[in-house]
């Protein structure tokens, strides 16, 4: 029942994305210079919440656009109605609906859906991660120098030691491919599917990371903060890898690394 509602909710959001994509939708600016929200973000979130409320009227909800609905329940649905809104607004078909279900403060189920690629990611705690119903696993790469990575940058740049551009420069100067897709939820799902060996980002919110976090861990990967502590969706820094390059990535992020360049 929980799984059916989750899948129904994610598909309802995806339908709204397709309805508005490349049409004449209204756009507003949020905090930060290019942090957009469109009519489609609101329509997707409304469609998702309608499905959840119909099936579970007493569950808590945390939606990016509508905020928190606090109730006396151990369940909380964490919703990003469009992850990758800037892509959406520019007609770039790399964005998705991302929903996670938290039970007693633990993420237990998640779904991420990109309606353009028709890619539906699903994960359940202890039961694995799936792409269009087929099990997925993280990659086997064990050296950062040979990895294919992905990252994202916040709308409001954060100046700090080992900030987003410093780490990016360090990797790129070594010739390591670091992609920037513009959707953290997709980035995480693609780590889970073994397309990327690792993902890091400095400033994410729970709706960006919650679903993708479960996808990566259920696909055999590892997710922590920048110090290697167990990940909580309520803190901002995310490092998600296949597990094998995790410690080396932590060293890169904390400026302690020595490159291991041997091919084996």
Selected catalytic residue, list 45, 80, 124, 187:
80
**Residue linked to tokens 């409304």:** 46
Q: Does 248 bind ligand IPD (CB under 6 A)?
A: no
33 is catalytic: no
- Does the annotation mark 119 as catalytic? no
- Give the one residue of 192, 204, 233, 249 binding ligand IPD; rule: CB under 6 A: 204
End-to-end CA distance of the chain: 47
CA torsion angle 22 6 154 152 (round to 10)? -80
Pairing of strands 222-224, 238-241: antiparallel
If one counts every other C-beta atom within 10 angstroms of the C-beta of residue 31, the result is 7
Q: Segment near ligand IPD (CB under 6 A), from 11-19, 69-77, 176-184, 236-244? A: 176-184
**Binding of ligand IPD at residue 124 (CB under 6 A)?**
no
Q: Work out the number of other CB atoms within 10 angstroms of the CB of residue 191.
A: 28
Nearest CB to Ca ion, comparing residues 83 and 187: 83
Q: Give yes or no for residue 152 binding ligand IPD (CB under 6 A).
A: yes
102 carries an active-site annotation: no
18-77 residues in contact with Ca ion (CB under 5 A) are 64
Best CA proximity match to 78, nearest among 222, 209, 240: 209
Q: Does 83 bind Ca ion (CB under 5 A)?
A: yes
Q: Which residues bind Ca ion (CB under 5 A)?
A: 64, 80, 82-83, 208
């Amino acid at each position: 029942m929980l799984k059916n509602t989750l899948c129904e909710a994610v598909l309802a959001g995806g339908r709204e994305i397709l309805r508005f994509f490349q049409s004449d939708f209204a756009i507003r600016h949020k905090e930060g210079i290019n942090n957009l929200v469109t009519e489609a973000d609101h329509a997707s979130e409304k469609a998702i919440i309608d499905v959840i409320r119909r099936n579970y009227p007493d569950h808590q909800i945390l939606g990016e656009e509508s905020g928190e609905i606090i109730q006396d329940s151990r369940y909380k649905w964490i919703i990003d109605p469009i992850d990758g809104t800037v892509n959406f607004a520019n007609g770039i078909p790399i964005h998705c609906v991302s929903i996670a279900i938290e039970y007693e403060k633990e993420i237990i189920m998640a779904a991420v859906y990109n309606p353009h690629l028709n890619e539906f990611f699903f994960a359940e705690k202890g039961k694995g991660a799936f792409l269009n119903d087929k099990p997925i696993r993280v990659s086997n790469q064990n050296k950062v120098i040979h990895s294919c990575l992905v990252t994202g940058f916040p709308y409001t740049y954060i100046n700090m030691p080992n900030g987003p551009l410093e780490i990016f420069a360090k990797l790129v100067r070594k010739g390591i491919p670091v992609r920037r897709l513009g959707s953290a939820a997709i980035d995480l799902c693609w780590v889970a599917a073994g397309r990327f060996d690792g993902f890091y980002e400095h400033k994410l919110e729970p709706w960006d990371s919650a679903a993708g976090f479960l996808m990566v861990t259920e696909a055999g990967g590892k997710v922590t903060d920048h110090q290697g502590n167990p990940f909580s969706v309520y803190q901002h820094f995310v490092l998600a890898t296949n597990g094998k390059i995790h410690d080396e990535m932590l060293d890169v992020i904390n400026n302690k690394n020595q490159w291991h360049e041997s091919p084996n």
